[in-house]
């Protein structure tokens, strides 16, 4: 098993041990690819939601938020195209009996070639040292060029096959590239078939077609069907956005890799309604804005990259992903899509209701175009956790596990620790905790030695540990230990609010966006 998979395993067990994520219904041996967020996980998840909501809604005067229901009229999904086209191409390996997404097998194959290119560049760097001109190397090195050509040719064939829904061509590509099943190692593949990802259920007591409804596979449609309600009641003028955070459900063919791909997950989506013809300007705007939002967390700029879609969804005229370097490699974290006027037009047609905006400046009505940003909350959670989780060797030879979660997202901003359980220190500590609790979540801990308590706070990502000792009773000062540097400073209690505001308040992170 490689190092990265080991890291994912470590994160999974750490998450369980400290109450971030548990396997769902574990006492019944769990349910595949379903997870429950525990006491610390829900705090972290809520903080990620708040960061998104404040950045998108609170900080934009022309974006408002809604909370639509999960069940929607079944015609919604006819109109949106999901009943007919929300499919993944699946393929089985006859020897291992394992099922895969055909497009994912091809993407992974191309990723391997990309890695070869990066290795070649690394070699070049080592060979030429400071004289190395990376741009020129990438443009001229024969191995790099040959591999780039390979990728382009695969992308071309894949795009054509998927766009024409030519499943045999998809299979032929897999055969031609000699892609093997990672489990059996064989090339003994079945035909490729389409598989619809929507979960259906029945409404009320009558079974049959008329009462079949779907669990929403994306939150976006709840926004589209409310476009006019929000526009009118909120007196919104184009361009404007509607944001929403909520559950979505997809019957994924292969749900694995922890919370990266689940059948029940949460999305944070924003649909931005614009004038027809202005969508590419806004598409570029939102690409930049969303990249900034991610990088602003300070997890590391090189962990993100853009990836343009090879096959555009049935509704899009431009689409890209922000990918993140998860322990299993670069994978989609967020999608940014220019959805044209497809959805609103379809809903007009199927509902017979006009879904248009009267633009006073142009003195005309039109169906707005839409640019969408859609980020998975659970994938955000995994991205934060995988950058934050570190197993460190300390100078004295000991080890510590520390979660370097950005302070604003940390489940607890500070821990309040009385040095001993007597002499009035617990009372003083609780008094301090109560004064800070209005603005920040604080943990109180009086058990075990101070060293052990620091380690526990490191393991759950608490950025500051505040120790109350005997001196505190005489001069109202405390020690504050920094999670990342482990340095301690002595400050007066009066200064604590300022310190937390500077490092862990919403303002501290929103003001740098």
Judged by CB under 6 A, the residue of 214, 258, 265, 412 near ligand ATP is 265
Nearest Cα neighbor of 343 from 290, 273, 245 is 273
Collapsing DSSP to helix, strand or coil, 391 comes out as strand
Residue 262 near ligand ATP by CB under 6 A: yes
* Helices within 164-207 (DSSP H only): 167-176
Judged by CB under 6 A, the residue of 10, 108, 252, 497 near ligand ATP is 252
Residue 504 near ligand ATP by CB under 6 A: no
DSSP letters of 494-509?
HHHHHHHHHHHSHHHH
Q: Which residues contact 128 (CB under 8 A, 6 or more apart)?
A: none
**Residue 314 DSSP code:** T
Tokens of 361: 């400046």
Residue 372 near ligand ATP by CB under 6 A: no
Using Cβ positions, the residue closest to ligand ATP within the complex turns out to be 376
Q: 259 vs 433, which CB is nearer to ligand ATP?
A: 259
Smallest gap from Cβ 223 to ligand ATP, in A, equals 14
Q: 336 vs 417, which CB is nearer to ligand ATP?
A: 336
Q: 8 vs 436, which CB is nearer to ligand ATP?
A: 8
Strand order in the sheet with 329-340: 63-66, 240-249, 264-274, 369-376, 329-340, 318-326, 304-308
Q: 219 vs 231, which CB is nearer to ligand ATP?
A: 219
Residue 432 near ligand ATP by CB under 6 A: no
Residue 374 near ligand ATP by CB under 6 A: yes
Radius of gyration of the chain (CA): 26
Smallest gap from Cβ 220 to ligand ATP, in A, equals 9
Tokens of 227: 């476009």
Judged by CB under 6 A, the residue of 376, 407, 461, 463 near ligand ATP is 376
Tokens of 163: 């766009």
Size of the site for ligand ATP (CB under 6 A): 16
Residue 335 near ligand ATP by CB under 6 A: yes
Smallest gap from Cβ 35 to ligand ATP, in A, equals 10
Judged by CB under 6 A, the residue of 154, 170, 174, 375 near ligand ATP is 375
Q: 120 vs 266, which CB is nearer to ligand ATP?
A: 266
Binding segment (CB under 6 A) for ligand ATP, from list 143-151, 155-163, 165-173, 333-341: 333-341
Judged by CB under 6 A, the residue of 21, 63, 333, 387 near ligand ATP is 333
Q: 258 vs 454, which CB is nearer to ligand ATP?
A: 258
Which residue(s) pair with 305 in the sheet? 323
CA distance 368 to 350: 17
Tokens of 292: 């900034």
Binding segment (CB under 6 A) for ligand ATP, from list 63-71, 137-145, 374-382, 441-449: 374-382
Judged by CB under 6 A, the residue of 332, 341, 343, 469 near ligand ATP is 332
- Residue located via tokens 């009372």: 427
User: Residue 332 belongs to what H/E stretch?
Assistant: strand 329-340
Residue-wise burial string across 334-344, b where 16 or more C-beta atoms lie within 10 A, e elsewhere: bbbbbbbbbbb
CA distance 206 to 203: 7
Residue 378 near ligand ATP by CB under 6 A: yes
Collapsing DSSP to helix, strand or coil, 249 comes out as strand
Q: 279 vs 332, which CB is nearer to ligand ATP?
A: 332
Phi and psi, residue 413, nearest 5° = -80, -35
CA distance 201 to 285: 39
Judged by CB under 6 A, the residue of 47, 147, 231, 267 near ligand ATP is 267
User: Binders of ligand ATP among 201-230, rule CB under 6 A?
Assistant: 218
Q: Which stretches of the chain bind ligand ATP, using CB under 6 A?
A: 218, 250, 252, 261-262, 265, 267, 332-335, 374-376, 378-379
């Amino acid at each position: 098993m490689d190092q990265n998979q080991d890291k994912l395993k470590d994160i999974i067990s750490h998450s369980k041990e400290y109450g971030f994520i548990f396997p769902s219904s574990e006492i019944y041996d769990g349910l595949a690819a379903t997870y429950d967020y525990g006491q610390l996980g829900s705090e972290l998840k809520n903080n990620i939601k708040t960061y998104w909501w404040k950045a998108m809604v609170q900080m934009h005067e022309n974006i408002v938020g809604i909370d639509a229901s999960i069940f929607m009229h079944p015609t919604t999904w006819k109109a949106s195209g999901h009943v007919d086209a929300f499919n993944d191409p699946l393929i089985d390996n006859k020897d291992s009996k394992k099922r895969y997404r055909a497009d994912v097998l091809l993407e992974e194959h191309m990723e391997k070639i990309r890695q070869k290119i990066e290795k070649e560049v690394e070699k070049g760097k080592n060979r030429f040292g400071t004289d190395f001109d990376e741009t020129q190397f990438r443009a001229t090195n024969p191995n790099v060029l040959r591999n780039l050509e390979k990728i382009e040719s695969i992308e071309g064939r894949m795009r054509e096959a998927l766009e024409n829904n030519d499943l045999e061509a998809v299979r032929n590509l897999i055969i031609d590239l000699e892609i093997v099943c990672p489990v059996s190692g064989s090339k003994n593949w079945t035909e490729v078939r389409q598989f619809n990802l929507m979960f259906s259920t029945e409404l009320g007591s009558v079974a049959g077609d008329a009462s079949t409804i779907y669990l929403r596979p994306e939150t976006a449609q709840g926004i589209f069907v409310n476009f006019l309600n929000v526009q009118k009641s909120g007196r919104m003028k184009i361009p404007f956005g509607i944001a929403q955070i909520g559950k979505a459900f997809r019957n994924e063919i292969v749900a694995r890799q922890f919370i990266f791909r689940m059948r029940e997950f949460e999305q944070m989506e924003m649909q931005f309604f614009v004038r027809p013809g202005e969508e590419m300007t806004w598409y570029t705007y939102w690409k930049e804005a969303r990249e900034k939002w991610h990088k602003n967390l300070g997890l590391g700029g090189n962990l993100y990259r853009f990836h343009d879609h090879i096959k555009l969804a049935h509704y899009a005229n431009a689409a890209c992903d922000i990918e993140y370097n998860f322990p299993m490699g670069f994978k989609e974290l967020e999608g940014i899509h220019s959805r044209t006027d497809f959805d609103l037009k379809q809903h007009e047609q199927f509902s017979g209701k006009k879904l248009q905006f009267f633009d006073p400046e142009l003195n005309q009505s039109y169906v707005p175009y839409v640019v969408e940003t859609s980020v998975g909350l659970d994938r955000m959670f995994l991205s934060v956790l995988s950058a934050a989780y570190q197993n460190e060797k300390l100078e004295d030879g000991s080890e510590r596990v520390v979660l370097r979660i950005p302070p604003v997202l940390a489940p607890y901003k500070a821990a309040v620790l009385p040095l001993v359980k007597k002499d009035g220190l617990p009372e003083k500590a609780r008094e301090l905790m109560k004064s800070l609790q209005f603005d920040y979540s604080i943990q109180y801990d009086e058990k075990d030695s101070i060293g052990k308590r620091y380690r526990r706070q490191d393991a759950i990502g608490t950025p500051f540990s505040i120790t109350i000792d005997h001196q505190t009773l005489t001069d109202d000062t405390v020690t504050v230990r920094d999670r990342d540097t482990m340095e301690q400073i002595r400050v007066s209690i009066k200064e604590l609010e300022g310190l937390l505001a500077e490092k862990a308040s919403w303002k501290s992170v929103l003001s740098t966006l």
